[in-house]
Each structure stands twice: as C-alpha cells, then as structure tokens.
A and B are shown apart, each in its own frame.
Chain A
Amino acid sequence: MRLPDSIEKLRQRLFGDTVRTFAWTSLLLLILLAVAPAKHYFADWRVYQRGYQQLISKRSDAVTLRRHFEPGIQQIWLPEIGVVDRCTTCHTGLKEASLADVSKQPYRHHPDMPHKAEEFGCTVCHRGQGAATSVEDAHRATDAWDEPLLPAKYLESSCGQCHQQDLKGTPQLNLGRKMLTQYGCIHCHTVKRPDGTVVAATDDPPSLEHIADKTSREWIYAWLKDPQAYSTTATMPNFKLKDEDARDISAFLMASSTPGPDAGSKVVPAVLEQAKKLKGDATLQTKAASLYGQSFCASCHAVQNAAGNLVGGDIGPELTKVGSKVKPEWLQAWVRNPHQYDPGTAMPRYRFTEQEVGLLTGFLMNKADADLLANVHLDAATPEQIEHGKRLVSDSGCAACHEVNGVKRPENFAPELTKVGSKPVAQLAFAPGVKHTLYDYLDAKIKQPHAFGAGLKMPQYTFTATQVDALVNALLSHNERALAMPAAKTVPALPESHYEAAGSAGKLIRDLNCFSCHMINGRGGEMAPELTSEGSSVQRDWLAQFLRNPNTLRPALIRRMPKFNLTDAEINTLTDYIMTVYQSPKVDRDSMPLTGYPAGQVELGKQLYYSKYGCQGCHIIDTKQDKGYVGPSLTHVGSRLTAAWVYNWMKDPQALRAGTQEPKRDMSDDDARALTAYLMSLKGHDAMEAKK
C-alpha cells in the first residue's frame, strides 16, 4: 500500500513501521470507542445514586434507608394516564420522612401530598419529561421536549386537570377559574371542560340596545377610552381605542339605540323635582343617605370613601361616579323597577314609595365627578362616522358580550382555549423579550396583549400580578392530559342548576332576586345562607317576622339582608312556599313539639350546654356573660328554630349543612334531647312579652 508521499512521511514520523501504525491507530480507535461506556458510567442518574448512597451511609438510620433504596433505573408506569416517570431514579429520598433535614436536591423528602405517587406519577402535577434520566432533559425544555417543569406558582393548575370543582388547597386556581367566567374571557373564547360541558359566564354585560335612554354619548366615549377611569372595579377591559374610533363607536351606539319598553311612560315629574331639590337641602340629603343605608344598597354596590377605599359589595356596579353616567329619568325608573329595563338583572325590586324613589335618585345623581366628562367635546355624528362605528363594533367583537342593535353576536370570535394548557410552543408567536415557555407566553399575553402585534384584538385588562398568575393557572389546567384523563380519576364540575321556584311565590322570588345572594337547590349566590332546607329549620312566625323586618343572626357579621317593604299578602305567599317546599328529607319538622318540655330536662340541657359541651365558646345566650361570636346568637332560638331541626343538628350538623363550622360531638340521644329542650325554652324577651 502506498500513500501520497507527504502523508506517508507523516505516518513514518508519527508511528514508524506499518505494524506500529496499525497498533497505534487501533489503540486510538479503542479510546474513541471507550467514550460510549464512559458516558454510560457517568450518566447523571448513576452519579446521583452514588451520591445518595454516600449521603445515607453517614446517617444513623443508614440501615433502614439502605434497605429502602433500590439501585438502577426506577419508574412509575401508569399506561392508562400516559405516565412513564423515572423521576424516582434520582429523587431517591422522596418518601423518606427521616430525611426531612436534607435540603439538597435531588434527595429532599417530598412534602405531604394529597395523592400517592404510585397512582398519579410525578409529571401529571409537575410536568417535565418523565422518561428522561438526565437533569437537563427531565426538567427543562429542550429541542425535543416542550414542557419544562412547572414553577411552583403554577402548580395548582395541575389539580384542575382532574378536579373541576373548587378545592380548599388551590386558592389560585379557584380565583383564576372565577376570573375566567367573571371578566368576559369566555364570551369570546370558548372553553370546554373534559366532560364536554362549556364553561359558562357568570358576569352579565349590559345590553346596549336602549343605551341612549340610560346615558350620554359623552359618557360612552369616556368609558370606551378608559373604563377604569370611571370605576376602578370595572370588568370591561381597555380596548386602547384611538380618539376617532371611540368617537365613531359612541356615535353608532347612540344612533342604533332604540327606546326601551319603559322610556317616557314611567317618568314621574314630581320624583324628578324631588331629586333636584336634594342638591341644596342638607336635611333631605341626610334622609336620602339613611334610606340608602337602610335599604342595604351597600350589600351589593361599592362606593369609594374619602380615603379612596371601596366600601361595599361587588355584586352590582360601583356607584362612586354614577351621577356622571346615568340620566335622572332613567335612574328613577330603574330604582322603581329594575326588571323593566333589564329583565335579567340581579337587582331586586324594592317596594319604594315615590318619595323614596325621588330621594334615592337625587342621592345617586349627586355622586358625580365633574372632571370625568370635562374634556369630552363631541360634534354631531356624520353618517360616515356612524357607519365606521358599526364596522368597529363588529370588528372588535363588542357584540360577543353586549347586545347591540344591528350587530349579530359573533360565533367563536377568539380561539378556543379548551387545550390551551398544552399548546405546543412551536405553534405560538412570541412577542420580543418573552421567554419561550407556554406559561410565560400566557402571562405576557394577559399582561400586554398589544405587544404581540398591532392588529390583535385582545383588549388590555388591569389585573394585579396575583390575578394574572391565577388566570394562567386556570388556563394551564385546560390541556390535553385533562381531556385524556380516565373518568374514574376525575371529579366533574357540579352541574349548573337552572332551578326556578314555581307559582306566584316563584314570581316573587324572581322579582326580589333571592338567588343573587341565597343558594337554593344548587342555584344562587354565596353571600347569604343557603335556603334549600329553610322550611324544616325555622318556625313560620319567625320567618314572617324576619321578612317583615330582617335582622342579623350572627353578632360578628354585619347585616346584609335588605328590607323590601313587602306587603302582608306577599309575606304570606313567600312564607307558605318556603315552609312547604324547602324541606329537608332528613328532618320531620313536626316530629317534636316546640314547647312543653319537662323542667328537669331543660335544667339538664342547660348544664350540658355550659359544662359538658361548652357551647358558650361560640354562641351567646346570656348577653351579659357569654362571649361567643362565631356562631349565631341563641337568645331567641326557641322561637326561631324547630325542635326537630335542633335535635338533628345536635346529632350531625354536617349532614344538614355540608361545610358548617359546627363540630360533630357524637352526643347520645338523651343529651341531644336535653339540649334541644333547653334551647327550645329560650323564647327570647320579645316572645315573653307577647305571652304576658
């Protein structure tokens, strides 16, 4: 064999004769091949397992730990949920409670977890690449793997893959889900749960069909430019409209508005007159303010106080600057009967006198901010502007939330988000400066949607950092894994209740919007007590009295129930209905008498109350001595609750009202009966007076 001369010379200089050349090149090849077994020996997981053995060898419980330790690649294999997790290969001390003092990863002990790793694996919650046995591949995103480990702040999203109901341990996820339904996200984006049900909106964006009745074009313009300038709690996002776009949209909305069903007909000049008088009359103002307070408007509506803090509930809109928004003619009609303008409103119809309507209208019209509309000067709209405004309304998707005359509600206006939590990073268009992970993308998209391109329609929300994190959590929980999860492993969402009360009482319940605050048969709000079993628990007389003049039952809570000024006939209808229909199958109201318990039993009950069971820790009977502020006051309990309810409550409170704080004491039948006898003897001062 002859090589080119130069190479031949080099070969001779390096190796000498042919045999040596062969020997040396063979040796070189062998060394090169040795790279493979070397990489094998120094693989990450072997290094960590050797490290673990070293770590435990110095400990006092080395024998036990060594017995638990299994060398070699470990894996949790759960084919039905697509899990091949080899994390425990390196995370060897995961289940060793005695390693609580070790803070070095990967040997740390896993904190208490609600599920067994053997049943769910690791990546179902933490993400990352379960099959990998090297640090980089297992934890981080690589060219061949999209899903890096989830940061701790997004971990709750994983609970949401299976748990469609709120959990105690996942406040962020719960908040995020609530925001998803509350801030209008799902008016544009469809989101389906794994069981196929569509997540429904809980907000109620107002119809704009009769907007001209309600407010002025100037206010619409100011609101469109910056909704949060009018009310910091406004859920409407900022669309970052140009001046002329806001001008044209407001022109179109005013032009397209038709007179509402109550326009004009219900305007009472005397009421308006009284409202106007309020401005210069301090006495009337005080009267109006106390009416506002007595009607418990603040249970639902917030108003900014002098210190700038919002005071009041969040069921209705904030009223700080309402006088700059609404027209007095509209407001007086609304206060008289809100259902006429908006049949779906959550606001109850109070039975105000015309004088009270006038007082409240004037009181609210005084809540104005002169600066709000000071700089808004709009010329009369031209037909071109109105036409342009209509195009903008339809292009910006306004009709996805609001009813607008002449513009149809768009279907699938924005991308569906059912699988957004597992969207491949390769399919995302990132804004400059955003890290290339799914959660960073979602975070940035919510925080600054306009950074992703000028033509995008997603509006700007004003969320706090916590709120954004919560929303990202909720979005991440909607992913492919959640959809593929076997039904046996999931907790489906509670079915949405469309319960309606029947008959004339039902009409009354709708008129008063009881569901805005009270939950009945799965439908309704959570602000006030659930009423599903109210008929079994309370006495009829007390209920009628309460509806006539509501008062708080719990000393630690402020009263929220408004006085609706119901007529006796209305109270009768409502009371009859509640006492007949809202009964618990677990309690027979008439199985125990309300009075007539032997004095001995009552005395025994009193002793049990104060000594054996220590009820005074939470409840008040003797207003001078007892200091219990947790549970309801029991001074009148004998004239409020039924004996059967009290007895069953003593035996098992959670069975009657799931989630109540009242502890289950496992008391004997005799004890329960004695306590019932004692409590039923507490008729309260008023009742005693009546007896005399």
Chain B
Amino acid sequence: MSVRVSKYFDALTETRAWRSVFRGGSGSSTLHRSMAIQQNIFLHLLSTKVRKRMISLNTTWYLGTLTLGTFGILVITGILLMLYYHPSAPQAYADTKDLQFVVSSGQFLRNLHRWSAHAMVFLVFAHMFRVFYRGAYRAPREFNWVIGVVLLLLTLLLSYTGYLLPWDQLAYWAITVGSNIASAVPVVGDRVRFLMLGGHFVNANALLRFYVLHCMVLPIAALFFVAIHFWRIRKDGGLYAHQKDAASVSNCDSGRPQL
C-alpha cells in the first residue's frame, strides 16, 4: 500500500504548482535532500544534515522541541483567549468569568493555556539543566547558552505578566508583591516599579501594560530569540552529543564554524 501512496506522492511533487512552491525540487540525491532544507525559510534555520543518532530520544530527551511545542500551544490558545478578553478594569475579571461560565469550552481553553505555561517553564528549566550537566554550553556554544538564558528570562516574564490578566485577588496581590520586589533595587528601584505599573499602584494602567507585554512585546521577542537560538544550533555544529561518544561524533563538533 505504501508503495502505491508514494507513487502518487512522487507524481504530485512533479507538478508545476508544487515546484513553484517548493523550490528544492524532488529527488533523493544528497543535493536534493539538502536543498529541501536550505531552500525552506523555516527549515533552513536547522542543520542541513543530522545524524540519525542525534535525533534519538536519549541524546536530548527532546526537551528543546517540547518547549517549542508548548510555546506553539500557548500562541494558539492565547490568540483564541484574546478574542474574549478586554484588558480593562473591571471588565477583565468579568471576561475571565465569562470564559468559565458561558464560552463553549472556554474553561478548557483557559486551562490549556495555563497548564501549557506551567509546562513550558518546567521544560525550559529541564532543558537548561540537561544542557548544563552535559556540558553542552561549552565552546563553541557559549553564545547560544547566553541566548538560552535570555529565552529563560523571556519565559519567566511571559509567565509573570500573564498572571495579572485574570484581574482577580490572587493576580492583584501577586503583582503587588512582585513589583514591590522590583522597587527593592537600589537607586532606581522605585522608578523601575513605576515603569512596570504605569503608576504607583496596581491599577488599570498596570493591566494594560502587562497585557501589551504579554500579548505582543514578549512573544515577538521570544520568537526573535528562538530563531537565533535555532540558527545558532546549526552554526555551532548541530546538536551536541555527550563527550563520552566523542569518537563517533562527526568532525562538525571540532569547533570550526559551520556554513
């Protein structure tokens, strides 16, 4: 059966329409296969060639990919939630209630967003521990580690800004405490707090500020750094394999810059 399907698929990839979309062309030669990666805007960030062993579960536990997956879920559910949500006081709380009580599967949507956010924070930490204890941050991947740290901060900020949006007591006091911590910074602390909240107290301004950060600024920044992060994986010699297996690792890991 699979032979017949692949025959139709081959025919499809030969059509003119297909060829106009996918520039790499078809064929199973090494060139064609590397073209398929290089000529695709999304895939070209990734290494052209990866050893089969490198994509096995044992090598990375897929922690980075899973993080990207939760990020994807968060973007999709987040956009759906935005359809029902007004970042204004006290409407924000009423909208949250409406999601729970009237919107079809609204509670499911909210829970999916919430649990994915928790999962993402957990996965980011797990990913970083794995990278750290395997020593994958070492040359030539030092810069990518730094990018990773930036992404960690962005994840935490996304989680923190999202906390205020339900506009309930828990949110209010969590953000009050959080912003008070910021004001403990010497010299500029109070200014930082004022900048965060758009005022001296958690109020409608703070809600709007956190909404813009949560739904626009931080996600775009995160996408930007994710792109660099992935691109640097390729440029820094692909996925890292543990030193124990050094003998079987290709010379890509020699530390020389890759194309």
Q: Which residues of A contact B (CB under 8 A)?
A: 1-4, 35-37, 39-40, 73, 84, 86, 129, 131-134, 137, 144, 424, 426
Q: Mark B56-80, 1 if CB is under 8 A from A, else 0.
A: 1110000000000000000000000
Q: Which chain B residue shows the least CB distance to A8?
A: B57
| C-alpha spacing A37/B109, complex, angstroms | 11
Given contacts A84-B94, A131-B101, contact A2 B56 (CB under 8 A): yes
B108 with A36: CB separation less than 8 A: yes
CB distance from A611 to the nearest CB of B (A): 66
Q: Which chain A residue shows the least CB distance to B166?
A: A144
CB distance from A288 to the nearest CB of B (A): 67
Can you report 21 residue pairs joining A to B where beta carbons are below 8 Å apart?
A1-B55, A1-B56, A2-B56, A3-B58, A36-B105, A37-B105, A39-B107, A39-B108, A73-B102, A84-B94, A86-B102, A129-B97, A131-B97, A131-B98, A131-B101, A132-B100, A132-B101, A133-B101, A133-B102, A144-B169, A426-B169
Residues of B within 8 A of A36 (CB): 105, 108
CB distance from B52 to the nearest CB of A (A): 9
Q: Which residues of B contact A (CB under 8 A)?
A: 55-58, 94, 97-98, 100-102, 104-105, 107-108, 168-169
A4 with B102: CB separation less than 8 A: no
CB < 8 Å neighbour of A2 from B57, B98, B102, B169:
B57
CB distance from A273 to the nearest CB of B (A): 74
Q: Which chain A residue shows the least CB distance to B59?
A: A2
Residues of A within 8 A of B97 (CB): 129, 131-132
Q: Apart from A1-B56, A4-B57, what 16 extra A-B contacts exist at CB < 8 Å?
A: A3-B57, A37-B105, A40-B104, A40-B108, A73-B102, A84-B94, A86-B102, A131-B94, A131-B101, A132-B97, A132-B100, A132-B101, A133-B101, A133-B102, A144-B168, A424-B169
CB distance from B158 to the nearest CB of A (A): 23
Residues of B within 8 A of A4 (CB): 57-58
Given contacts A36-B108, A39-B107, A426-B169, contact A1 B57 (CB under 8 A): yes
B58 with A2: CB separation less than 8 A: yes
| C-alpha spacing A583/B124, complex, angstroms | 88
| C-alpha spacing A175/B57, complex, angstroms | 75
Residues of A within 8 A of B104 (CB): 40
| C-alpha spacing A84/B102, complex, angstroms | 12
Number of A-B contacts (CB under 8 A): 42
Q: Which chain A residue shows the least CB distance to B97?
A: A131
Q: Which chain A residue shows the least CB distance to B173?
A: A426
Residues of A within 8 A of B58 (CB): 2-4
Q: Is the interface of B mostly helix, strand, loop or mixed?
A: helix
Residues of B within 8 A of A39 (CB): 105, 107-108
| C-alpha spacing A86/B107, complex, angstroms | 17
| C-alpha spacing A69/B107, complex, angstroms | 27
Residues of A within 8 A of B105 (CB): 36-37, 39-40
| C-alpha spacing A73/B104, complex, angstroms | 11
| C-alpha spacing A35/B56, complex, angstroms | 32
Residues of A within 8 A of B102 (CB): 73, 86, 131, 133
6 nearest A-B pairs in the assembled complex, by CB-CB distance: A36-B108, A133-B101, A131-B97, A2-B56, A36-B105, A132-B101
Residue with the highest number of chain B CB atoms closer than 10 Å, among A3, A37, A39, A144? A144
Residue with the highest number of chain B CB atoms closer than 10 Å, among A2, A35, A39? A2
CB distance from B189 to the nearest CB of A (A): 28
| C-alpha spacing A129/B58, complex, angstroms | 51
Residues of B within 8 A of A424 (CB): 169
| C-alpha spacing A603/B105, complex, angstroms | 84
CB distance from A576 to the nearest CB of B (A): 63
CB distance from A78 to the nearest CB of B (A): 14
A137 with B101: CB separation less than 8 A: yes
Q: Which chain A residue shows the least CB distance to B108?
A: A36
| C-alpha spacing A47/B166, complex, angstroms | 28
Residues of A within 8 A of B98 (CB): 131
Residue with the highest number of chain A CB atoms closer than 10 Å, among B98, B101, B108, B168? B101
CB distance from B101 to the nearest CB of A (A): 4
Residues of B within 8 A of A132 (CB): 97, 100-101
| C-alpha spacing A28/B168, complex, angstroms | 35
B108 with A134: CB separation less than 8 A: no
CB distance from A422 to the nearest CB of B (A): 14
Q: Which chain B residue shows the least CB distance to A137?
A: B101
| C-alpha spacing A28/B20, complex, angstroms | 39
| C-alpha spacing A2/B61, complex, angstroms | 11
Q: Which chain B residue shows the least CB distance to A36?
A: B108
CB distance from B185 to the nearest CB of A (A): 29
| C-alpha spacing A35/B115, complex, angstroms | 16
CB distance from A6 to the nearest CB of B (A): 12
Given contacts A39-B108, A144-B168, contact A86 B56 (CB under 8 A): no
| C-alpha spacing A4/B59, complex, angstroms | 11
Residues of B within 8 A of A37 (CB): 105
CB distance from B1 to the nearest CB of A (A): 11
CB distance from B108 to the nearest CB of A (A): 4
| C-alpha spacing A131/B98, complex, angstroms | 7
| C-alpha spacing A137/B55, complex, angstroms | 48
Residues of B within 8 A of A129 (CB): 97
Residues of B within 8 A of A35 (CB): 108
Residues of A within 8 A of B100 (CB): 132, 137
Residues of A within 8 A of B107 (CB): 39
Q: Which chain A residue shows the least CB distance to B169?
A: A426
| C-alpha spacing A40/B99, complex, angstroms | 12
| C-alpha spacing A133/B94, complex, angstroms | 13
Residues of A within 8 A of B56 (CB): 1-2
| C-alpha spacing A86/B97, complex, angstroms | 12
CB distance from B12 to the nearest CB of A (A): 22
Residues of B within 8 A of A2 (CB): 56-58
| C-alpha spacing A73/B97, complex, angstroms | 14
CB distance from B78 to the nearest CB of A (A): 17
| C-alpha spacing A281/B58, complex, angstroms | 114
CB distance from B197 to the nearest CB of A (A): 22
CB distance from A199 to the nearest CB of B (A): 29
Residue with the highest number of chain A CB atoms closer than 10 Å, among B94, B100, B168? B100
CB distance from B209 to the nearest CB of A (A): 24
| C-alpha spacing A119/B238, complex, angstroms | 68
Q: Which chain B residue shows the least CB distance to A4?
A: B58
| C-alpha spacing A244/B94, complex, angstroms | 57
Residue with the highest number of chain B CB atoms closer than 10 Å, among A4, A131, A132, A426? A131
CB distance from B34 to the nearest CB of A (A): 22
Q: Which chain B residue shows the least CB distance to A132?
A: B101
| C-alpha spacing A175/B105, complex, angstroms | 48
Q: Which chain B residue shows the least CB distance to A2?
A: B56
Residue with the highest number of chain A CB atoms closer than 10 Å, among B58, B97, B98, B100? B97
Given contacts A39-B107, A39-B108, A144-B168, contact A86 B101 (CB under 8 A): yes
Residues of A within 8 A of B168 (CB): 144
